Amino acid sequence: MSFSIERFVNLSKAVETSDLDWDYVARVGISDDEARVLRYMADTESHTIIYLRDLLAGHTARDPEISAFMSCWVYEEFNHGRAIDRFLAACGRPPSDGQYTRVTESASWTESLEAFFTLSLPLLTPHFAAAHMAWGAIDEMMAAMAYMQLAQYTRNKELAKLLLRMAKDERRHQAFYYHQAERRMRHPLGQILARLGLDNLWSPVGIGVGGDEDDLAFIAWMLLDSQRGRDELRHNDRMMGRLPGMSGCSLTFRRVDSLMRSFQSRFPGEVDRLRAQRRELGINLDADPALSLGMDAQLSQTL
Ligand SMILES: [Fe+2]
Ligand SMILES: [Fe+2]
């Protein structure tokens, strides 16, 4: 699989929002549940700079392709956060005063632990970059999937438009990380570090920044409680399983499924409410397979 960093850099820009129908956005609005999901997403996107700090550890900062990618990536992710914040504000749900600082300060201990490993271990071996790149690939897959599922869920057509634009960006990011991971995991030490890192430390993107495990499980019950949701998770795992040393990967399905089960055992009423609401609003998460931009097809389009 090839990836052109030149092409990526040339195509890089802030997600377009100026052409959205902002009167429609304000008139149609969004539900409280959608607002909760978008808040999680905006906070996660706005804090990409934290992940950038971790990713620039060790030798990765000296790799010209990685530096070029990261320079554009952090700008694009920051603008995803800005676009969602603008959307929420237009719906009468602006971020609260001091939201950014509060989220930064409350970033959980798992985030600090991840930061510790990602800042210190790369100094020991350059092969740790394989773990960083595989981690990035899986996070971008999850982000793209969440945006596409929310685009299917929402009744606000302008939100769906914005979400699909961001999903496309996430696929471009995924292509970079995946290509890097594939290359770096050809080395046995890269393989071992990537597999160990993901198996022991990975959790879905945003936990500890955008919210806690229950927030993530809530999002999963809202957006992935369908055949397509399960298929998308398994598809992520199949893609990861094609990386050297990752065969049989079931990471995303297992982690998300376990978070969902734990949530359901404690908040069965919430799960029932979300299901009843989808029935009431006629939302079918399996409805439009054309919207599900199958990962393989997307990768070939964006490389
Ligand atoms: Fe993003
Ligand atoms: Fe991304």
pLDDT at 62: 74
Residues contacting 288, CB < 8 A, separation 6+: 152
Residue 83 has pLDDT above 60, yes or no: yes
Min mean pLDDT across 39-43, 130-134, 199-203, 206-210 is at: 206-210
Residue 12 has pLDDT above 60, yes or no: yes
- Per-residue pLDDT of 34-67, as tens digits, reads 999 999 999 999 888 777 776 666 666 678 899 8
Q: How far is the CA of 162 from the centre of ligand 2 (A)?
A: 14
Residue 205 has pLDDT above 90, yes or no: no
Q: Are the beta carbons of 198 and 182 closer than 8 angstroms?
A: no
Residue 185 has pLDDT above 80, yes or no: yes
Average pLDDT over residues 234-257: 95
Residues contacting 265, CB < 8 A, separation 6+: none
- Nearest ligand to the C-alpha atom of residue 80: 1
Average pLDDT over residues 172-186: 95
Residue 238 has pLDDT above 90, yes or no: yes
- Nearest ligand to the C-alpha atom of residue 166: 1
pLDDT at 111: 60
Residue 72 has pLDDT above 60, yes or no: yes
pLDDT at 186: 96
Min mean pLDDT across 10-14, 106-110, 295-299 is at: 295-299
- Nearest ligand to the C-alpha atom of residue 136: 2
- Which residue in the block uniquely carries the two structure tokens 């292509």? 175
CATH no., domain 5-302: 1.10.620
Q: How far is the CA of 19 from the centre of ligand 1 (A)?
A: 19
pLDDT at 112: 63
Q: Which residue has the higher pLDDT, 205 or 38?
A: 38
Structure confidence at residue 303 as a pLDDT band (50, 70, 90): very low
pLDDT at 54: 67
- Nearest ligand to the C-alpha atom of residue 174: 2
Q: How far is the CA of 242 from the centre of ligand 1 (A)?
A: 24
Min mean pLDDT across 27-36, 77-86, 109-118 is at: 109-118
Distance CA 93, CA 35 (A): 8
How would you class 108 by CB atoms within 10 Å of its CB: exposed for 0-12, middle for 13-18, buried for 19 or more?
Answer: middle
pLDDT at 299: 44
Domain limits, the chain: 5-302
Average pLDDT over residues 195-199: 91
Token pair of 209 as six digits: 């920044």
- Residues less than 5 Å from ion ligand 1, measured at CB: 45, 77, 80
Q: Are the beta carbons of 174 and 144 closer than 8 angstroms?
A: yes
- Per-residue pLDDT of 134-150, as tens digits, reads 999 999 999 999 999 99
φ, ψ for residue 48, nearest 5 deg: -60, -30
pLDDT at 288: 59
- Nearest ligand to the C-alpha atom of residue 73: 2
Q: How far is the CA of 170 from the centre of ligand 2 (A)?
A: 4
φ, ψ for residue 211, nearest 5 deg: 170, -165
- Residues less than 5 Å from ion ligand 2, measured at CB: 140, 170, 173
What is the value of pTM for the model shown? 0.88
pLDDT at 204: 83
- Per-residue pLDDT of 278-287, as tens digits, reads 999 888 888 6
pLDDT > 70 in the chain, percent: 81
